[in-house]
Structure 1
Amino acid sequence: MEQEQITKLIPKKTMKLTFRIRYRTVWGENLRIILNEEENNSIPLTTRDGVIWQNSYEYFTTDIEKVITYRYGVFRGETCVRKEFGAIPHSFYLGNAQQTHYILDDCWRELPADFHRYSSAFNLPHPLSRPNKLPDGVGSCVTFRALCPGLSHKKQALAISGSCNALGNWDWFRPIRMQEVAPNVWHLTLDASSLPPSFEYKFVAVNAETGAVEEWEGRPNRTFHIQPLMRGETYLPMETEVFFNLPPRKIAGCAIPLFSIRSEGSCGTGDFGDLKSFIDWAADTGQQAVQLLPINDTSGNGGWMDSYPYSAISIYAFHPMYIDLRQLPEPEDKEEAQLFETERRKLNAQPLLDYEAVNKLKLAYLRTAFRQEGDEVLSSEEFLSFFAHNESWLQPYAAFCYLRDLNHTPDFHQWSKYQTYDAAEIAKLCNPENEVYPKIAFHYYIQYQLHKQLLDAASHARQRGVILKGDIPIGISRCSVEAWTEPYYFNMNGQAGAPPDAFSTNGQNWGFPTYNWEVMEKDNYLWWRKRFAKMAEYFTAYRIDHILGFFRIWEIPTHSVHGLLGHFVPALPMSEEEIRSFGLNFRKDFMTRPFICDYMLNTMFGDRSDEVRQTFVRHLHHDLYAMRPEFDTQRKVEAYFAGKNDEESLKMKEGLYSLISDVLFVSDRDHPELYHPRICVQNDFIFKQLSGKEQEAFNHLYNHYYYQRHNEFWYQEAMKKLPVLTQSTPMLVCGEDLGMVPECVAWVMERLQILSLEIQRMPKAFGQEFGRLCDYPFHSVCSTGTHDMSTLRGWWEEDPAVTERFYRQELGCWGEVPRQASGWICKEIIRRHLNSPSLLCILPWQDWMAIDEKLRNLDAAAERINIPANPHHYWRWRMHLTLEELAEHKDLSSEIRTLIQEAGRE
């Protein structure tokens, strides 16, 4: 029988729903109920005073066991301008046959307090219950609803104890237990006739086995005045959050790139099998979090540049080099197996990652394994289920990899065929009957094995009580699957990057396309929500790389190499009239084109200044010059110097880059007649050409533009995106908010309870040289450094003057400053970080090792992961110890565990 016919035979239950809420609106706004997350099918409420809103609504359903969820939203016309936050909507279940009218009193709910406690990072999967349903014949009911995180789910449950017999008369052993119907959401339905008109009650935590009260709410008794109910009516009072007097749980953890982990059996790089062992080490030392760098596939050209983990060719696929080959069948050819083992040992003995050699060897092994078991694996029920769940991204990814290898480039614009993605054509290409199918299916096989291995490691982390924290890069490669299949989501005529900071005086140019947020908004950021959902399959927490990009991104023209000629997008550019209103006489020819004079050429190029005059610039008049057309962009200069890597050529190239960026204003991308003040121009020659009065006017304009003008604008931009994204999964959300941070970033992160990143040597408070650990917010991650910084020991040796001030002012020490950060210094710095108020204290593995002078790497500089100022840096660092050796050092494990316990991070 057809499903439609079956549905017609199931009787529909008709109910009346009455919603009531107090919420103050302004003229032009109206309140609606968004039922079951269907924003396009909302229920309007009515009001007489703009404060008390209510309405009754007929609801029909054939599924009487279905949970009904809803949110309140504020609408202007048909547009929802704001709605209740949180991954947890209001909810209720249908009662017995007599219950036909549900009266719901509510209050507007923002994020629950301590929202992190509702995340999967703090909640292991556990059995849930159906709500209790009273027997038929009960005429009217009262349903209590509560949110309560923090209970020990294996040992405790939530209950109600009160001043009436139905609630146990305050007896320790007679509270009425509630049912956990969703994670941390508790319901209880009582017969209204068993309750007196007025009574007092409290929520209590009870022993799951005995039912005895173990914790009482630390607040005055709650009072309840029941309203007269007609037969068939169920009254649901306001939901409430329940807290007990429990100390805040704080956690310590470790950050390490997966490729850096080393074990006796790994193949020159860390893998998902090694991750399980690393999780064990972390748990054995009292750490409850392991943070990784991105693990997505970055295999573009197959060379060293692919080692950069933030330039993914797929936002879903994992890098094949993270496969644990030990979990695959050995080569049946014994000679081949022996050759592999010899090469594996050779690669694994190397101090640094040999990216090209490791990937070559692993792919060869994978091809052998695929030949041996590929048909069997790809016909298994487990794989078919995986494929059905992931086909939307897996098929285009596999086709992309095949076409990349066929055409010897990931740049799909250069492919002989399939330059423009066509889903129907790609489906034909991936048809099992196609002769190239085995080459495409090879990538299915790899991703399936990676999925199984990471899922296993993630499950192991949950069993050991360890938060597995991933990393979501802000950008994607412009030669990626998503750029090929969904180009409408991106602006390909720009490059994402970052403005200048302490790590890069010329800014950073990541080369990624920027996002077309206007298009993404139309489908409620589906691209991002799918990306986050995939990550939630494995991780319980994640770091949003460069969260500032959700407020605004630093966009650099494609003709630029450095980041100085970029501007924020979106932003509010200035007209000529507005610039003049600051007291600065705007002169387009002078202020928007490179200023070049003899003094500059002589100062910057010295003996080679005449060469620059003859080759790269042309004379205008007096002592002024302009770049020749064939060298008027940094990309043209870059092309001229391609392959010239001697010191003189590199110096000349950088000098020419500086000439080109010597402008006071840059034109807006979409409106060339509007302008942005060039970032950090105060140090350049063109700024020095201004009079003192003009410099003062420009600085006033500059400070207004960069620190005041956009706060509310960028706040609204972020609030369009981040609530939708951060609440689309139960993962704990952390944001990397370092750099040039506008004031509005803190507003948004605090409102959405996104954990900030706090680094003592990168303080956020104006005028501070070092951050004050005691002032860190609770909703934060504190650390001694990131992968973009030197290690704690490396930083200590960088600038003796800074080190001395830190030694005396922060550590309070006297006498001669040690040239190297000794074990006791590193231990003291770590101890202070562990004792900070931050919810998470996640330290680089190298800094944990620094407390043991016998065990740590002798060469502090060798432990650096990345140098942001070097766009050609290779990501190669590996642990100098194996996990097996690390596990043997019980003294270090005990020392770390003691530090964590003394700080109360257990």
Structure 2
Amino acid sequence: MKVSFKIHYDTQFGQQLAVSGSIAVLGKGKETDALKMSHLGGGVWIAEIDLSKSRAKSFEYNYLLVDEGNGITYKEAGAPRVVEINKKLKKVVLVDAWNPYHEIENAYDTAAFDVIFKSNAPTVKAPRKSSKDTNYTFEVNVPRIHQDYVVKVVGTTKELGEWDIAKALPMQYDADRRLWTITTPIKASHHKLKYKYVLVNVKDKKAAPELEGGFDHMFDINENDPSIAVKFSDHRFTYDKHNWKGMGVALPVFSLRTENGLGVGEFLDIKGLVDWSVETGMRLVQILPVNDTMATYTWIDSYPYASVSVYALHPMYVNLEAIGDLKDKKKMTKLKKLKKTLNALDTVDYEAVMDAKMDFLKEIWSEKKASFFKSAKVKAFIKEQEEWLLPYAAFCYLRDKYRTPDFSKFEDFAKFDAKKVAKLFDAKSKVKDDVNFYVFVQYHLHAQLLEASEYAQSKGVVLKGDIPIGIYRFSADAWTAPHLYNMNGQAGAPPDDFAVNGQNWGFPTYDWDTMKKDGYAWWTSRMTHLSQYFQTFRIDHILGFFRIWEIPIDSVQGLLGQFRPALPLHINELENRGVSFNHDRFCKPYIREHFLGEMFGEDTDWVRSEFLEHKWDSAYNFKAAFDSQLKLQKHFDGLMAKKGADKERLERVRDGLYSLHNEVLLIPALGYEDGMHYAPRVTMDKSRTFAELTPAQQYHFYELYVDYFFKRQEELWAAQAMEKLPAIKEATNMLICGEDLGMVPDCVPGVMKELEILSLEIQRMPKDPSISFGHPGNYPYDSVASPSSHDMSTVRGWWKEDRGDTQRFYNEILGNWGEAPEDCEPWIAEQVLQQHLYADSIWCIFPLQDLLAIDGEVRRDDAEAERINVPAIKHHYWRYRMHLSCEELVKLKSFNNKLKGLVTASGRNTAY
């Protein structure tokens, strides 16, 4: 048996197509051994293999594009094709179509659209086969189809109905492969076969069929031989209608409010938000990260992006009643009273909620621990998750024992040892109940989030998660696998309009070289774990996969960071431009007498005598005790801890001293210890040290600055992302959205488009630096449109921040005449909503606060109380709660009907 491959692909010079498959002649999955194809011209590529000696019953394959110019091998998107080997056949001809990664319709093949487009395809009988004619198999992917429709194939031959749709050949749905397929004999009376696929409503005979758009599929019939089979894999049905678009709502789980809550949203409360989404025509619910962040047992742990485990879920989100009641009735009565008190609060009291939940969980664990491990579901959960679950439970026990998450203080357990950790769980262990308590809690959290996810799917609503870019420095992840992280650096983000000093998240950065050695197994494991609960997710700070902003370990703010990896500046570049390198002037904090008074006012003398030392007349250095921002932070923390301290004054002085540390032009490049390689300080042109250079020096420094940040790194960063992101994308079938805001390199849009990762379009953070606001009418289809995010004020809150911005937005973007109203009136919020609804973006996702803003009777009175996070505040308290319960939301019939009408009118509530 011979197998012939044929595919059309327009390549460029230096590019080669190849077939990679599961059998030896196709390389056995090894891309470097894939079968190279021959080019016939006109974009047609062919190859042939002989399987007469093969013992395989079937094989899988896909196509590769090998670019010899850049050394990159590009894969197709989607699952491999499958061929059954039939020894009775002389030849199989495979006529395929390339499945490009950058095709937006690939989104329809993801788990998200398994929820949106549910196929209840009826079984179709295959046509009778003739022993005299060649058999032709038609195979096409049609993910976007209504449950009342089936796919048929119609064409020039009698077997395909001779273009009469009423006589078109019905196809069968292969649920495992997500393909519509049919095999039929075709007589050789036709030299040119032309055909198309068509969608036909089987329940409503009057409904018009939907014929595939584009050109006819064509094939030359040269054979009339029953020992030859031809298979057409036509990739995807070509729609002749507009793309599908959907609407969703975003809200952190902790912000959910229900009538019987405990002062915080819980996983099972997601059901209420799903019910409201159904009422209003929305098909997606987006949440923030839900991992365990318990490190200090204070409100600081409310920050959801600093998890102590990338796998474990936060105990805050467990519903206690779903676990069971305590036998002690007095304690149950006490809990019910506390629930009423906490649930009446406007905001989340994180510490009170956590104290109440952990107390109850420990009580109920003591009652149920004897029977807990007898459950088959519990045993299955532990077996599936033990690789991360047991180390996490041990970490939590040790954190509690030593009253710190800093594992360097865990004494005998400071260095992770799997065998020593396993002994903690032994039947004879004195602490087995303490460590297994956290297994108990995680099991119930898993069960409840899974229940909420399955409920959402049953209602046709997609659940969207959020994956932080970093890990917490003192986490179970860092304890168990420190070799995967650079613990001597800090991850963050360069400055933007919302954090002018940059952001320092304090997370260690990743050792990507080490992660690469096992094919990014840590990331693929993380993605697989998430896919239990979510069908789509947002990658927080996707720019970190291109390059990360790494900040020195002794810095507090983010301005002294630099991108890693990066091609640094060599001092010869300065010399070649006529700027003589001066380490003291360019690399040391520039502190001069003439601006100290302006910065510190009446505190100038104290600052000068306490923190600085003379370098020469009118020039200063920091004293050794204060020669880093971290040393300053510790010093001022001590001053502010004293009784009666003027904290506002001390913070002002401290921040001024921080800014003096930032007064440098060049920073030693990471990975270079030779004193010859440097990175320019970000936003150096806004510094005093830059302002006091000569005009010629300013010109040359700024040229180098622009080259470093906006030109020279592009190829390097694109290659970095193309190594990491495909492995992460291929780990699951979830739809991916990347948070690509901030200082975005030019290479980012192209890479995201190539990998079909949706971009995030926020109106107040346009990708084009030449404009102040994005217009939803210009957003691409492969994007998520939103007016704001959890890191920003709501539309109503922003409206009051800058009168000039508000006025320009009111006139230029909304197209209104005259003076903008003082407040964001409901009709203005509705204009913003409608603009976004009519965007081309595949998803429009609004924070709940911005949706409620369109109705003066429904929205909260105080817009400021609706803000979730302020990025400029390092330890912000994340405590926002809905002012309405989910039950009340569902009952808002008039509002819900209005919102549903807006969503439906925009075309974002269609069945398929």
Give the shorter-chain TM-score range: over 0.9
Shift of 1:370: 2.2
CA contact (8 A) 2:4 2:46 kept: no
CA shift, 1:162, in A, is 2.1
Match of 1:176 among 159, 164, 169: 169
Which residue in the other structure is 1:483 paired with?
478
Are 2:142 and 1:148 equivalent residues in the alignment?
yes
- 1:627 Cα shift? 1.3
User: How many angstroms apart in 1 are the aligned matches of 2:779 and 2:509?
Assistant: 32
C-alpha separation in 1, matches of 2:406 and 2:130: 67
Matched, 1:840 2:843: yes
The residue that corresponds to 2:667 in the other structure is 666
* Aligned residue in 1 for 2:657: 656
Distance 2:770 2:72 in 1: 38
Asked if structure 1 preserves the Cα contact closer than 8 Å seen for 2:18 and 2:63, the reply is no
What is the aligned partner in structure 2 of residue 8 from structure 1?
Answer: none
Q: 1:579 to 1:230 in 2, by over 3 A?
A: farther
Identical positions, percent? 38
Q: Tell me by how many angstroms 1:468 deviates.
A: 1.1
Equivalence for 2:283: 288
Task: Identify the match of residue 84 of structure 1 among 64, 75, 79.
Answer: 75
Opposite residue 112 of structure 2, the aligned amino acid is A
Note the C-alpha offset of 1:854: 2.1
Partner of 2:644: none
Which residue identity lines up with residue 183 of structure 2 in the other structure? T
- 8 Å CA contact 2:65–2:73 kept in 1: the answer is yes
Give the whole-Å Cα distance in 1 for the aligned partners of 2:543 and 2:213.
39
Q: Write the distance in 1 (CA, Å) between the matches of 2:741 and 2:17.
A: 39
Shift in alpha-carbon separation, 1:428–1:697, aligned structure 2, 3 A? same
Structure 2 CA distance for aligned equivalents of residues 370 and 734 of structure 1: 39
Determine the structure 2 residue equivalent to 1:68: 60
Please tell me whether residue 109 in structure 1 is matched to residue 99 in structure 2: yes
Measured in 1, the distance between the counterparts of 2:774 and 2:412 equals: 55
Q: Name the amino acid aligned to 1:360.
A: D
CA contact (8 A) 1:781 1:840 kept: yes
Consecutive unaligned residues in structure 1, runs of 5 or more? 1-14
| Equivalent position amino acid for 2:163 in 1 | W
Q: Relative to structure 2, which stretch is displaced further, 724-733 or 390-399?
A: 724-733
C-alpha distance after superposition, 1:803-849 (max 9, x if no partner): 12222323333444322111122122212221222221111111111
Contact 1:71 1:89 in 2 (8 A): no
Partner of 1:159: 152
- In structure 1, give the amino acid aligned to 2:88: Q
Distance of aligned partners of 1:465 and 1:838 in 2 relative to their CA distance in 1, 3 Å threshold? same
8 Å CA contact retained: 2:21, 2:34? no
Shift of 1:149: 2.6
- Of the three residues 762, 765, 770, the one matched with 2:765 is 762
1:577 aligns with 2:590: no
2:326 pairs with 1:326: no
Aligned partners of 2:15 and 2:65 also within 8 Å: no
Measured against aligned partners, the alpha-carbon deviations of 1:149-208 in whole angstroms (never above 9, x if no partner) come to 3112x3222221222232233343332233333454233333466775533222122345
Q: What code does the residue aligned with 2:670 have?
A: R
2:880 to 868, 877, 882: 877
Quote the Cα distance in structure 2 between the aligned partners of 1:498 and 1:747.
21
Aligned partners of 2:779 and 2:840 also within 8 Å: yes
SS at match of 1:458: helix
Q: Identify the residue that residue 40 of structure 1 maps to in structure 2.
A: 30
Question: What do residues 431-485 of structure 1 show as CA deviations (whole Å, max 9, x unaligned)?
Answer: 3442322222221221111111111111111121112111111111011111111
Query: Which position in structure 1 is the counterpart of 2:618?
Result: 623
Deviation larger for 487-496 or 176-185: 176-185
Query: Retained in 2: the 8 A contact 1:634–1:657?
Result: yes
Structure 1 pair 253–108 and aligned structure 2 pair: CA distance change class (3 A):
closer
Question: Does the 8 A contact of 1:402 with 1:440 survive in 2?
Answer: yes
Aligned pairs for 1:109-128 (under 5 A) are 109-111=99-101, 112-124=103-115
Query: 1:254 maps to what in 2?
Result: 249
> Is the alpha carbon distance of 1:413 and 1:810 closer, same or farther for their aligned partners in structure 2, counting shifts above 3 Å?
same
| Letter in structure 2 aligned against 1:92 | V
Which shows bigger deviation, 327-336 or 230-239? 230-239
Aligned to 2:414: 419
Q: Which amino acid aligns with 1:89?
A: A
Q: What does residue 382 of structure 2 align with? A: 387
Map of 1:793 onto structure 2 = 796
Corresponding position: 1:408 with 2:395: no
Q: Aligned partner of 2:106: which letter?
A: F
CA 195–727 in structure 1, closer or farther in 2 if over 3 Å, else same: farther
Is it true that 1:311 corresponds to 2:306 in the alignment?
yes
Using the alignment, how far apart are the partners of 1:71 and 1:60 within structure 2?
23
Could you tell me how far 1:896 is from its partner in structure 2? 1.1
Residue 338 of structure 1, aligned match among 333, 339, 343: 333
Q: How many Å apart are 1:26 and its aligned residue?
A: 6.0
Partners of 1:622 and 1:814 in 2: CA distance: 58
Match of 2:184 in 1: 190
Check whether the contact 2:478–2:485 (CA below 8 A) recurs between aligned residues.
Answer: yes
How far, CA to CA, are the matches of 1:138 and 1:317 in structure 2? 62
* Contact persistence 2:20–2:30 (CA under 8 A): no
TM-aligned CA distance change 1:176 to 1:107, over 3 Å: closer
| Structure 1 residue 200 corresponds to structure 2 residue 207 | no
Q: Does 1:373 align with 2:374?
A: no
Question: In the aligned structure 1, how far is the partner of 2:665 from the partner of 2:218?
Answer: 66
Change (3 A) 1:385 1:898: same
Letter paired with 1:70: N
Contact 1:788 1:868 in 2 (8 A): yes
* Aligned equivalents of 2:622, 2:526: Cα separation in 1: 44
**Correspondence list, 1:538-557, <5 A:** 538-557=533-552
Greater shift after overlay, 545-554 or 373-382?
373-382
SS at match of 2:301: helix
Q: Which whole-Å CA distance do the structure 2 matches of 1:59 and 1:553 have between them? A: 52
- Cα deviation for residue 622 of structure 1 reads 2.5
Over residues 268-322 of structure 1, what are the superposed CA-to-partner deviations in whole Å (9 max), with x where a residue is unaligned? 1000111101110111111111110111111112111110000111111110111
State the distance in 2 between where 1:418 and 1:542 align.
Answer: 35
Give the match for residue 905 of structure 1: 908
Partner Cα separation in structure 2 for residue 50 and residue 614 of structure 1: 81
- Per the alignment, residue 12 of structure 1 pairs with none
CA contact (8 A) 2:62 2:76 kept: no
1:801 shift after superposition: 2.0
| Count of matched residue positions in the alignment of Structure 1 and Structure 2 | 888
Amino acid aligned to 1:698: F
Give the whole-Å Cα distance in 2 for the aligned partners of 1:38 and 1:348.
Answer: 59
In 2, Cα distance between the equivalents of 1:239 and 1:28? 23
Q: 2:582 corresponds to which residue?
A: 587
Tell which deviates more after alignment, 503-512 or 767-776.
767-776
Give the secondary-structure state (helix, strand or coil) at the position aligned to 1:491: strand
Matches within 5 A, 1:192-271: 196-208=190-202, 214-228=209-223, 232-237=227-232, 239-271=234-266
Identify if the C-alpha distance between structure 1 residues 408 and 774 changes in structure 2 by more than 3 Å, giving closer, same or farther. Answer: same
Whether the 8 Å CA contact 1:131–1:188 is kept in 2: the answer is no
Decide whether the 8 Å contact of 1:204 with 1:213 is kept in 2. no
Distance in 1, matches of 2:769 and 2:848, equals 30
Q: 1:17 Cα deviation (Å)?
A: 4.2
Amino acid at match of 1:669: L
Contact 1:314 1:482 (8 Å CA) reproduced:
yes
Please give the alpha-carbon distance, in whole angstroms, between the structure 1 residues aligned to 2:528 and 2:630. 38
Q: Cα 1:324–1:690, aligned 2, differ >3 Å: closer, same or farther? A: same
Correspondence for 2:439: 444
> How far apart are 1:494 and its partner, in Å?
0.8
Letter in 2 for 1:875: W
